[in-house]
A and B are shown apart, each in its own frame.
Chain A
Amino acid sequence: MKFRSLAVAAVAALSLTAVAACGSSDGDSDNAASGPTTIDVWLMKGSVSDDFLKRFTDDFAAKHPDIKANVQIQEWNGIGPKIIGALASKDAPDVIEVGNTQVAQYAASGGVKDLTDKKADLKGDDWIEGLAGPGNYEGKQYGIPYYAANRVVIYRKDLFQAAGVTPPKTRDEWLATSAKLNTGGNQGIYLPGQNFYVLSGFIWDEGGDLAVKEGDAWKGALSTPEALKGMDFYKQIQALGKGPKDSDEAKPTQTDVFAQGKVAQMIAVPGAAELIAQANPALKDKLGFFPIPGKTADKPGAVFTGGSDLIIPEASDGQDAAYTFIKELAGEQWQTDLAKTMKYVPNRKALAGSVGSDEGVAAMAAGAANGKATPNSPNWAAVEAKNPIKEYQTKVLTGGDPAAAAKAADEIITQALNTK
C-alpha cells in the first residue's frame, strides 16, 4: 500500500539533496573499476525526512567509503509502471523501496533478487508480520521490511471536552461518542465513503477477510456474513459526519477538511496531524490520538499495516553494495532513528519500545498489535488499481443492497486474483 510521508514540507527540500548528490556522479564510468561502487537507491516521497537522509548518508559514507550511494526520491504518482520499467531496464537502480502490498507482483515477475539467505543476518525472525509477510512470495523473501505505519483516530481534544466525552474503547462507545459530537455544525467523524482500508479493519474484526484462498484459487469474500457485518458498522459510523459517500480520503484531502475546524474525529496515520497543524496552526495543540476501537475493550480494532519493503532488482549491477545499504537502513540504529523521526513503526518487534513517548505513535503501536495485510497475491495490486471495494462501499452507503453489491464486487476480485 502506498504509505507516504508525514512531513510534506520537508520533503520538497529533500529531493534537492538527492539531486545534488546525483550531480556529482559524472565521473563514475572512469573510476568504476578502481574507485568506489556507485549504487542508486530509490526511496519514496516522504519515506524519510531531509534531515534523516542527511544523517544517514553521512554516516553511511563514513562507514563504507567504498560505496557511493545516490539516493533519489520518487513520486507516488505513476510509480507502478516506473518500477516495472526500472526492473526491465538494463541499468536498474540497485535498491528500490516498494509498498508492501506491491512486492508480490514484482517478485512474481522474476525481476527481483531472492534475499531469503540474508534473513538470519537481518534478524528476520523478529520482523513484524505486516511487512515480512507481504515481502515473502512463495516461501522466498524478496522484500526486506523497511517501515510500517497504521491508522489511528485523530480527534479534537477541545471538542471532546466540550461534549463531555473521552476517547472510546469499544465500537459501541465509539458510535455513542461520535453521535454526541455530531451536533451544532460539527461533524462527529469525517469518514469518506471509500476508505477501504478502514473497512478492511472492520471486516477483520468480525473474523472476515477481503479474499480467501481455497486451494489454488482465490475467492472474493466481501459477501460473507462476517464481511457484511463489517460493512454494516462502516455505514453506521460513516453516517455520523459528512464524509462524501462517493469519494476517498484523498478527494478532497481529508486533512484539509479537518483543518476547517468543524470535524471532531478522522481516521489517518498519526503523521497526518502535522499536516492539519500546518494548514491550521490554531489546532496544533488540540489534537489527540487513540487506536481504532475494537469490538471489546481488551483489544483494539484490527488495522491495515501499511508500509514499505526494500528490494534489490536482478538487473542491479551492484547487488552486494545494495545489500550493505539495506542492512544499514533496515538495521537497529537507523530503524530506531527513523521510527522516532518519522513516527513509524520500526521493522522489528524488539525495537518497538525504542520509539519514545509520542502520543500518536503510542496509539499507533497499540493498534499495530492487531495489524493485518491485504491478500498476498501478485494480483492484489490489480485489485487496488481499479478498486471494486470502493465501488461496493459507495453502493451500500447510497442505499444499495449490501449483499448484492458485495457479490458483484466479489466476482471482480475473484476474477482479478485468479488471472494468470
Chain B
Amino acid sequence: MRTSLGRKLSLNTLALIVFAFSVFPVYWMVLTAFKPTKDIQAETPSFFPTNITFAHFGTAVNADGFWLFWRNSALVAVTAVLLSLVVACLAAYAVARMKWRGRQAFILMVFIAQMTPWEALLIPMYVIARDTDMLDKLTMLTLIYFMVTLPFTIVTLRGFLKAIPIELEEAAQVDGCNQFQAFRRIVFPLLAPGLLSTSLFGFITAWNEFAFANLLIIKNQDQRTLPVWLSSFSNTFGTDWGATMAAATLFMLPVLLIFLVLQGRVTAGVAAGAVKG
C-alpha cells in the first residue's frame, strides 16, 4: 500500500481527535475518582492528577456488599449474554442460511421485539413476577436481560452471517465437512468480530440496567445488582461523587477486560478468515 507521510500524519491526527473525544468524559470520571472531595468542584478545573487520593476507591470497595453485588451483576449479565448468544446463533443461522415458511414473519417479530420500550413493561413484568413468585430472584432479572438483548443479537448475527460468503461454507462441505463442522471451522472464526460486538453490547446493557433491578428485587437485599448499589453514595445533600465515580470506574473495568481478552481473538479470527477467504 502506498501511504505518503502526510496522509499518515493527518490520519493519525484525526485518530487522536477521535480518541480524545471518546475518552475525555471517561477520563474525567476516572480523574474525579482520584481527586479529594474538596477538589472535585474546583473553580479552576485541573486536567491532570495532582493531588491523588485512593480514599474514594476505599469507600467504594469497602462499602458493604460491594463484592456480593459485583458477583450478582456478573452472574446475571454473563448468564444472560451467553444464553442469548447461543439462542441467537441458532436462530440467526436458520434465518440467514435456510429457506423456510414463516421466515419473514419471524424476522418481523424479531424487529418488533427490538422496538419494545422496556421501561413501559416495568409494571406488567412486576405483576407477572409477583404472581409467579419470581420477585426477589436473580433468575427473573437474568431472563429479562436475556430477552432485552436477544432480538438485537439475532439481528446483528444474521447481518454478519449474511456478509460471510456462503461459498466458503459450501467449499468446506465439498471438502467433506458436514454442516455443523463447516459452521464451526469456517463461519465461526469469521463471525468472531460480530460475536464480540454483540456480546459486548449485551453485556453492557445487562450490566447497566437499573429500573428492573430496582423494582424486581424488593425484599432480598443480597440479590441487588451493581447499578442499584451505585446509587448508594447519595444522601440528602447530593451525592458523594468521588465514591460514585470510583465505583463507576470499577464498574466499567469488566467491560474493558472482556474487550481486551476478546480483542486478540478477534484479530486472529479476522486474519484467519482473510487467509482462508
Q: Is the CB–CB distance between B234 and A77 below 8 Å?
A: yes
Give Cα A249 to B62, complex, Å: 27
Chain A, Cβ-Cβ closest to B240: A8
Query: What chain A residues lie within 8 Å of B37 (beta carbons)?
Result: 256, 259, 278-280
Smallest distance from the beta carbon of B255 to chain A beta carbons, Å?
Answer: 22
Q: Is the CB–CB distance between A272 and B222 below 8 Å?
A: no
Query: What chain A residues lie within 8 Å of B122 (beta carbons)?
Result: 81
Known: A5-B236, A82-B214, A93-B219. A256 touches B64 (CB 8 A): no
Give Cα A18 to B65, complex, Å: 11
Residue in A3, A5, A12, A81 whose CB lies within 8 Å of B64: A12
Residue in B63, B218, B238 whose CB lies within 8 Å of A12: B63
Q: Is the CB–CB distance between B126 and A88 below 8 Å?
A: yes
Give Cα A269 to B235, complex, Å: 12
B36-65: contact bitstring with A at CB < 8 Å (1 yes, 0 no)? 111011110000000000000001001111
B208-246: contact bitstring with A at CB < 8 Å (1 yes, 0 no)? 001100111011011000001001101111111100000
Q: Is the CB–CB distance between B238 and A262 below 8 Å?
A: no
Q: Is B266 an interface residue (CB 8 A)?
A: no
Query: What chain B residues lie within 8 Å of A18 (beta carbons)?
Result: 221
A1-40: contact bitstring with B at CB < 8 Å (1 yes, 0 no)? 0111110100111011011001100000000000000001
Q: Is B135 an interface residue (CB 8 A)?
A: yes
Query: What chain A residues lie within 8 Å of B42 (beta carbons)?
Result: 260
Q: Is the CB–CB distance between B219 and A40 below 8 Å?
A: yes
Q: How many residues from A make CB contacts under 8 Å with B?
A: 52
Chain B residues touching A, range: 35 or more
Q: Is A251 an interface residue (CB 8 A)?
A: yes
Q: Is A377 an interface residue (CB 8 A)?
A: no
Query: What chain A residues lie within 8 Å of B135 (beta carbons)?
Result: 85, 89, 91
Known: A45-B235, A78-B214. A85 touches B240 (CB 8 A): no
Query: What chain B residues lie within 8 Å of A255 (beta carbons)?
Result: 237-238
Give Cα A391 to B192, complex, Å: 49
How many residue pairs, one in A and one in B, have C-beta atoms under 8 Å apart? 127
Known: A77-B231, A260-B43. A22 touches B65 (CB 8 A): no
Q: Is B97 an interface residue (CB 8 A)?
A: no
Query: What chain A residues lie within 8 Å of B222 (beta carbons)?
Result: 19, 22-23
Known: A3-B236, A12-B64. A257 touches B41 (CB 8 A): yes
Q: Is the CB–CB distance between A85 and B215 below 8 Å?
A: yes
Residue in B59, B218, B221, B232 whose CB lies within 8 Å of A45: B232
Q: Is A275 an interface residue (CB 8 A)?
A: yes
Query: What chain A residues lie within 8 Å of B130 (beta carbons)?
Result: 88-90
Q: Is the CB–CB distance between A72 and B221 below 8 Å?
A: yes
Chain A, Cβ-Cβ closest to B60: A12
Query: What chain A residues lie within 8 Å of B236 (beta carbons)?
Result: 2-6, 46, 269, 271-272
Q: Is A61 an interface residue (CB 8 A)?
A: no
Q: Is the CB–CB distance between B43 and A253 below 8 Å?
A: no
Q: Is the CB–CB distance between B232 and A253 below 8 Å?
A: no
Query: What chain A residues lie within 8 Å of B210 (beta carbons)?
Result: 78
Q: Is the CB–CB distance between B38 and A253 below 8 Å?
A: no
Q: Is A65 an interface residue (CB 8 A)?
A: no
Q: Is the CB–CB distance between A22 and B235 below 8 Å?
A: no
Q: Is the CB–CB distance between B234 and A12 below 8 Å?
A: no
Residue in B38, B214, B234, B237 whose CB lies within 8 Å of A81: B214
Residues of chain B having any CB pair with chain A under 8 Å: 36-38, 40-43, 59, 62-65, 122, 126, 130, 135, 210-211, 214-216, 218-219, 221-222, 228, 231-232, 234-241
A-B complex: 8 closest residue pairs judged by Cβ atoms: A253-B238, A4-B236, A77-B231, A250-B238, A16-B64, A279-B37, A78-B214, A4-B235
